[in-house]
Chains A and B, each alone.
Chain A
Amino acid sequence: MNQNRRKILKALGGAGAIAAAEPYLSFPAIAQSRTLKIGIIAPKAGIVGTIGECGLRGTLFAVDRINAAGGIAGRKIELVVEEETNPKDSIERLRKLVLQDKVDCVQGIVSSGVSLAMGAVAEEMKALTIFWDGTTQDGVKETMFNPRYIFRSTDNECEAVMASLLAIKYWKGKFVTIAGINPDYSYGRNNFAAFQALLKKFGVEVKVVADQWPKVGTLDLTSHVAALKAAKPDLIFSSLLFADLPIFMKTAHGAGLMEGGTKFVFPAAGFQHTGLKKEFTPEGMIFGHNTLYFDYKDGSALQKEFVQDYVAKYKDYPHWEADRAYFAMLVYQAGVEAAQKAKNAWPSQEDIINAMEGIKVQSLGGPGHMRKDHIAEQTFYQGLTTHKNKYDFPTLGTLDIMYSEQLQKPPGMDFWKWIETAQIKL
């Protein structure tokens, strides 16, 4: 018994000595024999289920490519997938991934409602976490200026800013009355407010004749459409983006809202692009595809390969969540490999984080980089819709591309102040 105890104490002492010497030692052979565990937290159900599914497919595409090429710095990736639901349960799953599954990195999160709550927990747990589409903004106000362990997506307002700029570029002087139908949470409210702030900045005087705030997931929008029709706006701005968007378009078409030359600005419609059929989605509307436009003729070989693979596997066309997920994986891969190269040994988490700051990657949708304050910068695609294509849904006849440095506030700046003072080019 005593002998056993002595053996255990010796072993523990040995392990302690190794742990103490760890910063000075490297074990590449041992490290590379273990798979790299990456935890994914993504929605699987409800109105955001389709978003999470598309993101996960982007992750799988990235993992297949990386593993086929030998893994990240020689280590193959193993995914542990959990479901994103409400903030409380999603945080429990983050804890499970970190403490129980002992993942090396956590990626995912579509809802900023979840990432806002999860950010502080991930920081406290010192868990390297890269959000696909989540921010740590309370509305448009950043709550974590210099986090260490979490990396955020571009600000949610990027697409609203770009769509607003395009509306001004294409239609300045052609509309006087505007109406909004936006989801009733901070994303919808901030987007419509940003649109109005930009109109003001560029000297476009308008009158808001209706503003509708259906709660997310409202599946009967007949009364909302009737209210919009009654207001007779020249332009309708909508950041609807879930299953309610095709329903709105169908209902609007049925009620004749699309007749009479009303202009439409839909910055986030790309989430539902394949569900917005030509029969009820007009040509000439401003339509946002965010950071991945699947039909971009001059897109990279990588994008074309991905779209081809996606269509073959899933009989569908991808939207931007696939790009956000791919981007997150690529940023991590690039960070690990850069840190490993610099150290000539398997890097610590701190080394990886340092390397990820400012790192540039080629994502599915185009170039992107991770700012020093851990906020992503990516390429955005929007334009005017056309029916002249081989699909049963509209694509972009006129394509505008902007890098998010032109669309989001710089580190530490107030969003509204930035809109007022920024030198934004149309």
Chain B
Amino acid sequence: MTAFFDILIGGVFHAAVLFLVAAGLQLVFGVQKIVNLACGSFYALGAYFGISSVNWAIAAGLPPVSFLPVLVASGVLLGVIGPFIEALLRTVYHRDEAFQLLLTFALVLMFQDVLRFFWGANPQQLGNLSMVYGKIAIGAVQVPTYNVLVILASVLIAVGIGAFLQRTRFGRILRATAENREMSEALGVNVRRIYASVFTLGTVLGTVGGALVVPTAAASLDIPVELVVEAFAVVVIGGLGSMRGALAGALIVGLMRAAAISFYAELEILAIYLVVIVVLIARPAGLFGKPVE
């Protein structure tokens, strides 16, 4: 039973990490219909900037235990880059999807050099800071409290975005714009402002995600490409543009990976893409995606 819970926690933690990357991707695609490959770069930027922010905070005399709010604040602060990048993307809104993909991939490469310029080539870590909150032990099952906080943060973000989209006026406008941009514009919605806001929110999801996860991992220049590949498996399974899909897809990928690692480690990657293939055959639009008409 201990082994079961250890594997389950491992899977859910990985799902939480993937959700934080995929959520921004889904939100932006859902409203703006742009596949933003740079979502992994925002995550990496959040991770690097989070490390620097925590180091500055500790050097300034803040106790190590305060690192969690510092990380969240640093991720939110990075949202300022969102409107600028969205302004760049405006040039390809009406062009072929291939142009959009090329532009966002160019952003991935440019961000890699930006990260290298500011933080150097070496992976950065926060030492053992994630352990300052201790561990939760139930019998032989032990899990760092911080990992539980990351899982909770993902759940909160999922619930928060769901409530925001369903229950708020702005959320309804967003959904209406996603459904029919021309009609929304005709009804007086400032679509340009909506797009800038959505993209900024998507950026913040990525940067906060990266900042939150980095104490348990490391920030490296390889993150953007590594994560975006797995995030795509998540969105293909869940359905492109669906937040519920992102949550379900992340859970499926996280748990499949954990089970494969435990029972037959060689299948770690294969198991995930087998699910992707099955979903693509059985439900091409994904579990929660809308079929293209």
Report if A219-B218 is in contact (Cβ < 8 Å); known contacts: A230-B262, A243-B123: yes
Q: Which of B54-62, B76-84, B87-95, B221-229 contacts A (4 or more CB under 8 A)?
A: B221-229
A214 partner residues in chain B, CB cutoff 8 A:
268
Report if A256-B142 is in contact (Cβ < 8 Å); known contacts: A226-B3, A279-B131: yes
Q: Which of B201-260 contact A (CB under 8 A)?
A: 216-218, 220-223, 226, 257-258
Cβ of B130 within 8 Å of any chain A Cβ, yes or no, is yes
Known: A47-B123, A226-B6. 20 other contacts (CB 8 A): A46-B222, A49-B121, A49-B221, A53-B121, A213-B265, A219-B217, A222-B9, A223-B10, A223-B258, A223-B261, A226-B262, A227-B10, A230-B3, A230-B7, A247-B218, A256-B142, A275-B125, A277-B127, A277-B128, A279-B128
Q: Which of A3-62 contact B (CB under 8 A)?
A: 43-47, 49-50, 52-53
Cβ of B143 within 8 Å of any chain A Cβ, yes or no, is yes
* Assembly CA distance A50 to B116 (angstroms): 12
Cβ-defined contact, B122 with A49, below 8 A: yes
A247 partner residues in chain B, CB cutoff 8 A:
125, 216-218
Which of A215, A222, A256 is within 8 Å of B13, CB to CB? A222
* Size range of the chain B interface in the assembly: 35 or more
Cβ of B293 within 8 Å of any chain A Cβ, yes or no, is no
* Assembly CA distance A50 to B219 (angstroms): 13
Q: Which of B21-78 contact A (CB under 8 A)?
A: none
Q: Which of A194-218 contact B (CB under 8 A)?
A: 210-215, 217
* Assembly CA distance A224 to B135 (angstroms): 19
Report if A222-B220 is in contact (Cβ < 8 Å); known contacts: A53-B122, A227-B265: no
Cβ-defined contact, A46 with B121, below 8 A: yes
Cβ-defined contact, A217 with B226, below 8 A: yes
The residue of chain B having its C-beta at the shortest distance from the C-beta of A50 within the complex is: B122
A280 partner residues in chain B, CB cutoff 8 A:
128, 131
Question: What is the minimal beta-carbon distance from A292 to any residue of chain B, in angstroms?
Answer: 18
A225 partner residues in chain B, CB cutoff 8 A:
6, 10
Cβ-defined contact, A44 with B123, below 8 A: no
* Assembly CA distance A250 to B144 (angstroms): 10
Question: What is the minimal beta-carbon distance from A241 to any residue of chain B, in angstroms?
Answer: 13
Cβ-defined contact, A222 with B123, below 8 A: no
Cβ-defined contact, B261 with A212, below 8 A: yes
The chain B residues found within 8 Å of chain A, CB to CB, are 2-3, 6-7, 9-11, 13-14, 17, 116, 120-123, 125, 127-128, 130-131, 135, 137, 140, 142-144, 147, 216-218, 220-223, 226, 257-258, 261-262, 265-266, 268-269
Question: What is the minimal beta-carbon distance from A270 to any residue of chain B, in angstroms?
Answer: 16
Number of A-B contacts (CB under 8 A): 129
Report if A254-B142 is in contact (Cβ < 8 Å); known contacts: A213-B265, A230-B6: yes
**Proximity bits, A255-278, B CB within 8 Å = 1, else 0:** 110000000000000000001010
**Proximity bits, A211-251, B CB within 8 Å = 1, else 0:** 11111010110111111011000000000001100110011
Question: What is the minimal beta-carbon distance from A412 to any residue of chain B, in angstroms?
Answer: 33
Question: What is the minimal beta-carbon distance from A322 to any residue of chain B, in angstroms?
Answer: 15
Cβ of A387 within 8 Å of any chain B Cβ, yes or no, is no
A224 partner residues in chain B, CB cutoff 8 A:
10, 261, 265
Cβ-defined contact, A213 with B266, below 8 A: yes
* Assembly CA distance A43 to B121 (angstroms): 9
Cβ of A253 within 8 Å of any chain B Cβ, yes or no, is yes
A44 partner residues in chain B, CB cutoff 8 A:
121
Cβ-defined contact, B143 with A255, below 8 A: yes
* Assembly CA distance A224 to B217 (angstroms): 14
Question: What is the minimal beta-carbon distance from A237 to any residue of chain B, in angstroms?
Answer: 15
Task: Provide a sorted-by-A list of 19 A–B residue pairs whose CB atoms are within 8 angstroms.
Answer: A49-B120, A49-B221, A53-B122, A211-B265, A217-B220, A219-B218, A219-B220, A224-B10, A226-B258, A227-B261, A243-B123, A250-B128, A250-B130, A254-B131, A254-B135, A275-B125, A277-B127, A279-B127, A279-B131
Number of A residues near B (Cβ < 8 Å) is 40
B147 partner residues in chain A, CB cutoff 8 A:
222, 254
B122 partner residues in chain A, CB cutoff 8 A:
49-50, 53
Q: Which 9 A-B pairs have the closest CB atoms?
A: A49-B121, A230-B3, A223-B10, A243-B123, A254-B144, A256-B142, A226-B6, A223-B258, A222-B10
* Assembly CA distance A49 to B124 (angstroms): 11
The residue of chain A having its C-beta at the shortest distance from the C-beta of B213 within the complex is: A220
Question: What is the minimal beta-carbon distance from A40 to any residue of chain B, in angstroms?
Answer: 15
B266 partner residues in chain A, CB cutoff 8 A:
213
A277 partner residues in chain B, CB cutoff 8 A:
127-128
Report if A256-B137 is in contact (Cβ < 8 Å); known contacts: A47-B222, A230-B3: yes
* Assembly CA distance A94 to B289 (angstroms): 49
Question: What is the minimal beta-carbon distance from B47 to any residue of chain A, in angstroms?
Answer: 9
The residue of chain A having its C-beta at the shortest distance from the C-beta of B145 within the complex is: A254
The residue of chain A having its C-beta at the shortest distance from the C-beta of B124 within the complex is: A243
Cβ-defined contact, B14 with A222, below 8 A: yes
* Assembly CA distance A230 to B2 (angstroms): 8
Report if A243-B6 is in contact (Cβ < 8 Å); known contacts: A222-B147, A224-B261: no
Cβ-defined contact, A255 with B222, below 8 A: no
Most chain-B CB neighbours within 10 Å: which of A219, A225, A256? A219
B3 partner residues in chain A, CB cutoff 8 A:
226, 229-230
Question: What is the minimal beta-carbon distance from A1 to any residue of chain B, in angstroms?
Answer: 51
B262 partner residues in chain A, CB cutoff 8 A:
223, 226-227, 230
* Assembly CA distance A341 to B67 (angstroms): 62
Question: What is the minimal beta-carbon distance from A65 to any residue of chain B, in angstroms?
Answer: 25
* Assembly CA distance A340 to B268 (angstroms): 56
Question: What is the minimal beta-carbon distance from B115 to any residue of chain A, in angstroms?
Answer: 10
* Assembly CA distance A59 to B98 (angstroms): 45
B135 partner residues in chain A, CB cutoff 8 A:
254, 256
A210 partner residues in chain B, CB cutoff 8 A:
265
The residue of chain A having its C-beta at the shortest distance from the C-beta of B142 within the complex is: A256
* Assembly CA distance A213 to B261 (angstroms): 9
B130 partner residues in chain A, CB cutoff 8 A:
250, 254
* Assembly CA distance A250 to B258 (angstroms): 18
* Assembly CA distance A43 to B222 (angstroms): 14
Report if A220-B217 is in contact (Cβ < 8 Å); known contacts: A227-B261, A230-B7: yes
A53 partner residues in chain B, CB cutoff 8 A:
121-122
The residue of chain A having its C-beta at the shortest distance from the C-beta of B113 within the complex is: A45
* Assembly CA distance A52 to B120 (angstroms): 12
Report if A243-B218 is in contact (Cβ < 8 Å); known contacts: A226-B258, A254-B135, A280-B128: yes
